[in-house]
């Protein structure tokens, strides 16, 4: 993008549409929904953190990571193995 080029307002991209080779719409979604989904995916990959074990105190979905900032190296990374509540964390 050139320095003097105008930035197109986000409102102009309210809907994203994908078409097949024949011009048929195969997928259509709102740009804001796409950004929300992308943000959620990125945030899912950022480890949660805090002091102490997350067991019975941190709610998350399975496969989420948690870093205990107060623990010694080698005993500070947990992974959520089961459930969607605050239990099921396992020290890795």
Domain hosting residue 31, numbered range: 13-46
State mean pLDDT over 69-90.
92
Structure-token pair, residue 39: 């943000």
CA atoms within 13 A on the CB side of 90: 8
- Please tell me the distance from the alpha carbon of residue 89 to that of residue 57, in angstroms, as a whole number: 10
Same domain, 54 and 88: yes
Residue 19 domain-assigned?
yes
Give the pLDDT of residue 34.
Answer: 78
Residue 60 domain-assigned?
yes
- Please tell me the distance from the alpha carbon of residue 80 to that of residue 82, in angstroms, as a whole number: 6
Same domain, 56 and 23: no
- Beta strands 77-80 and 89-91: pairing type? antiparallel
DSSP 73-88: TTS-EEEE-S-SSS--
Say yes or no to pLDDT of 2 above 70. Answer: no
Q: pTM value?
A: 0.58
Give the pLDDT of residue 11.
Answer: 54
More confident residue, 52 or 37: 52
């Amino acid at each position: 993008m050139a320095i003097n080029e105008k930035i197109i307002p986000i409102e102009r991209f309210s809907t994203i549409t994908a078409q097949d080779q024949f011009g048929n719409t195969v997928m259509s979604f709102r740009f804001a929904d796409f950004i929300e989904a992308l943000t959620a995916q990125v945030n899912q990959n950022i480890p949660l953190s805090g002091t102490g074990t997350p067991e019975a105190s941190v709610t998350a979905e399975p496969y989420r990571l948690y870093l205990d900032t107060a623990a010694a190296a080698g005993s500070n990374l947990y992974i959520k193995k089961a459930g969607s509540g605050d239990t099921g964390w396992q020290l890795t």
